[in-house]
Chain A
């Protein structure tokens, strides 16, 4: 079975631009979460969606937004990119959220010049 897939794998943007990252969950999983991982640190929670509704949001500015589609795939959007947004963006899926294990994709490496 396919795991969590994310696209693109790498992306280079300049300050002020906008970016959209995409995630397809494991088949049958209805919950998707987004995390940001800076080099040398653990992932930081950004959002979780379940059945197309936002279930939770981390301490990130309003420049970050996300949505989940009827097929349970998800997009993460970041506006007005800053140098500090350079990171690995990880998507994780789980059956229904809650305290079920979250399974991660290999992420999108975003570099801001």
Chain B
């Protein structure tokens, strides 16, 4: 069965203090790895899809990378509005996303 583990569970950062979130996975035949952002009381908001090891995607202060066993979400010079729970999900077949429990990021001004 697909397994997704995210670490750390929670991350408290000072504004401007860069850091990385980890998503390690076990899946037979990765078809895609997805990063989402979720704000309290809202649904997950799509950020990135990575399809193969070595691939990188960037959006504003966020950069996602992928290896054969894990993915990293790098947050560069975060701002308070980057505070959210970041979810990682893997897809090994045509339909199902398997999610990790998420990393809750709090950025203090």
Contacts and interface: CB of A to CB of B under 8 A. Distances in A.
B44 A48 contact: no
Contacts, number: 66
A25 to B, nearest CB: 13
Contacts of A104: 36, 43-46
Nearest to B88: A42
Nearest to A47: B95
B26 interface: no
Nearest to A106: B43
B99 A105 contact: no
Contact of A41 (B93, B97, B101): B101
Interface of A: 4, 31, 33, 35, 40-45, 48, 50, 55-56, 58, 90, 92, 97-99, 101-107
Ranked nearest first, the 9 interchain pairs of A and B with the lowest CB-CB distance are A42-B99, A104-B43, A56-B95, A48-B95, A99-B32, A99-B31, A106-B43, A45-B96, A104-B44
Given A92-B43, A101-B34, A104-B44, 4 more contacts: A41-B102, A43-B97, A99-B49, A102-B46
